[in-house]
Amino acid sequence: MIDFELTEDHKMVQSVAREIAARKVAPTIRDFDRKHEFDPTLITALKEADLMGVCVPEKYGGMGMDYISLGLVCEELEYADTSARVIFSVHIGLNSMTLLGWASEEQKEKYLIPQAKGEKIATFGLTEPGAGTDAVGIATTADKDGDHYILNGEKMWISLADVADNFLIFAWTDRDKKEKRDHSGISCFIVEREFEGVTTGSIPGKLGVRAGNTGWIAMQDVKVSKENMVGEPDEGFKIAMTCLDGGRYTVAAGSTGLIKACIDASVEYCRTRKTFETEISQHQLVKEMLAEMEYGYQAGRLLWWKAGWLKNKGVRNTRETAMAKWFCTDQAEKAAYNAVQIHGAYGFSDEYPVERFFRNSKGAAIYEGTREIQKLMQADYLLGFRKDKETRLMVPGYEE
């Protein structure tokens, strides 16, 4: 049964996330954005509210809530700023939920529990200087050395690169398959910041998400125990694709928060700004732009809710999540564009938040799979070139 009514638990977690966004992000975000600085106290606030493991089962240190709850937190945080939501996308959507589905019990005890409690911060490392959408194009290698693997390579455009304690790293363990571009030769590893040979740095000059920490991870002869391999050898590509299902979901949900922020900022401005002795809210083309924002918000929410509903049931949702990610990020870009238009010259200044919304909206159409990749995926489903097995997911559902 599909129910569009939020439960009391949903409303509770939504309220908690909204309060944190209003108290910790909104008052200072313009200053942090201007300075291109990350505010680490936000992570502390999220930890104190027990949100860092919102949809991780209680046995592994989390709140044990469902995927709709995760989406609601992302929406509320991105309403204040995209950089706040990104913390969730990488920490939970890309890393912790991957460990929940693929890690051994020993790995969950050592890594997932501290992450769910917010004692350790985690991120995800697939993209490289020469490989983004082309995941098989990664160059990082992991060579077997007794009971260890020796990792060499560099990851790029990594959120929380200078903040995270744990990294989920993908590398070639089969060099012959690497030469053939056979993705079954990729494996996945948990790498700790403290491992010798790990260095990180930040990427300056970003167009948007300036208050978020984005950087690179370099690994030079990093010795990683075989016990830190997630899943079986050569399962890395499969794991990475399930990671993206989680990450894309959080991006989709967050994008509706950005749309709502554009709507609210624009409605408020329409009530105060006059042209030709009339509130601009009375101009038909302004009304059209507002209506288009609302259309995107309402339809986008339904798409990520459906994906979350499938996730709650433990059912494969790659197609639905990809559609939600494409539509929601596309509509967020359009909403931010319209919000700037409505604000006119003031939309070109950071005196009003829509300028920041406009810059932030661009990134989501690129990361976690570009808009173009999402389109190709949907076409391939329609043409029968791509089919998902109707199997239950490894990550447990919440409606059992």
Residues 328 and 349 in one domain: yes
As a whole number of angstroms, the distance between CA 320 and CA 245 comes to 9
| CATH code: domain of residue 12 | 1.10.540.10
CB within 8 A of 2, min separation 6: which ones?
309
Q: Using one digit for the tens of pLDDT, what is the confidence trace for 234-291? A: 999 999 999 999 999 999 999 999 999 999 999 999 999 988 888 988 899 999 999 9
> Phi-psi region for residue 277, left (φ > 0), alpha (ψ -120 to 50) or beta?
left
What does the block give as tokens for 177?
Answer: 């398959």
Length of the chain (residues): 400
Q: Which residue of the set 75, 106, 368, 372 is catalytic? A: 368
pLDDT at residue 163 in the model: 97
- Number of CB atoms found within 10 A of residue 375's CB: 14
Residues 106 and 167 in one domain: no
94-110 burial, b for 16+ CB within 10 Å, e for fewer? bbbbbbbbbbeeebbeb
Residues 188 and 170 in one domain: yes
CB within 8 A of 395, min separation 6: which ones?
97, 100, 101, 242, 311, 314
Task: Answer for the pair 125, 217: CB distance below 8 angstroms, yes or no.
Answer: yes
Residues 75 and 183 in one domain: no
pLDDT at residue 50 in the model: 95
| CATH code: domain of residue 168 | 2.40.110.10
Task: Answer for the pair 235, 185: CB distance below 8 angstroms, yes or no.
Answer: no
Using the 3D structure, point to which of 72, 103, 121 is the last residue of a domain: 121
As a whole number of angstroms, the distance between CA 377 and CA 251 comes to 17
Q: Please check whether residue 75 lies inside any domain of the structure.
A: yes
As a whole number of angstroms, the distance between CA 39 and CA 41 comes to 6
Q: Please check whether residue 400 lies inside any domain of the structure.
A: no
Provide the domain limits for residue 359.
238-383
pLDDT at residue 398 in the model: 62
As a whole number of angstroms, the distance between CA 265 and CA 277 comes to 21
Report, in this order, helix, strand and coil percent for the chain, each rounded to 5: 55, 15, 30
**Residue pLDDT tens, the chain, 400 long:** 677 899 999 999 999 999 999 999 999 999 999 999 999 999 999 999 999 999 999 999 999 999 999 999 999 999 999 999 999 999 999 999 999 999 999 999 999 999 999 999 999 999 999 998 888 999 999 999 999 999 999 999 999 999 999 999 999 999 999 999 999 999 999 999 999 999 999 999 999 999 999 999 999 999 999 999 999 999 999 999 999 999 999 999 999 999 999 999 999 999 999 888 889 888 999 999 999 999 999 999 999 999 999 999 999 999 999 999 999 999 999 999 999 999 999 999 999 999 999 999 999 999 999 999 999 999 999 999 988 865 555 566 666 4
pLDDT at residue 327 in the model: 98
pLDDT at residue 396 in the model: 62
Task: Answer for the pair 350, 33: CB distance below 8 angstroms, yes or no.
Answer: yes
Q: Please check whether residue 316 lies inside any domain of the structure.
A: yes
User: 82: helix, coil or strand?
Assistant: helix
Q: Please check whether residue 14 lies inside any domain of the structure.
A: yes
Q: Please check whether residue 260 lies inside any domain of the structure.
A: yes
Residues 251 and 373 in one domain: yes
Residue 113 C-alpha from the chain's centroid: 20
Query: Which residue in 308, 287, 294, 211 sits closest to 259, CA to CA?
Result: 294
Residues 106 and 152 in one domain: no
Q: Please check whether residue 388 lies inside any domain of the structure.
A: no
Residues 96 and 31 in one domain: yes
Q: Please check whether residue 395 lies inside any domain of the structure.
A: no
User: 37: helix, coil or strand?
Assistant: coil
CA-CA distances (angstroms) from residue 259 to 22, 57, 250?
17, 30, 14
Using the 3D structure, point to which of 187, 207, 235 is the last residue of a domain: 235
Residues 358 and 285 in one domain: yes
How many CA atoms within 13 Å lie on the side-chain side of 56? Answer: 30
As a whole number of angstroms, the distance between CA 12 and CA 8 comes to 6
> In what helix (H) or strand (E) does residue 83 lie, and over which residues does it extend?
helix 82-88
Residues 72 and 137 in one domain: no
| CATH code: domain of residue 250 | 1.20.140.10
Mean pLDDT for all residues in the chain? 94
DSSP code per residue over 231-268: SSTT-HHHHHHHHHHHHHHHHHHHHHHHHHHHHHHHHH
Query: How many domains does one find in the chain?
Result: 3
CA terminus-to-terminus distance, the chain: 13
As a whole number of angstroms, the distance between CA 155 and CA 353 comes to 32
pLDDT at residue 399 in the model: 60
User: 144: helix, coil or strand?
Assistant: strand
Using the 3D structure, point to which of 101, 121, 141 is the last residue of a domain: 121
Paired residues of 249 in beta bridges: none
As a whole number of angstroms, the distance between CA 36 and CA 213 comes to 9
What does the block give as tokens for 132?
Answer: 């983004």
Residues 275 and 217 in one domain: no
Residues 212 and 253 in one domain: no
pLDDT at residue 276 in the model: 83
Residues 271 and 330 in one domain: yes
Q: Please check whether residue 27 lies inside any domain of the structure.
A: yes
- Determine whether 400 is an active site residue: no
CA-CA distances (angstroms) from residue 232 to 9, 173, 181, 247, 399?
36, 11, 19, 22, 28
pTM of the model: 0.95
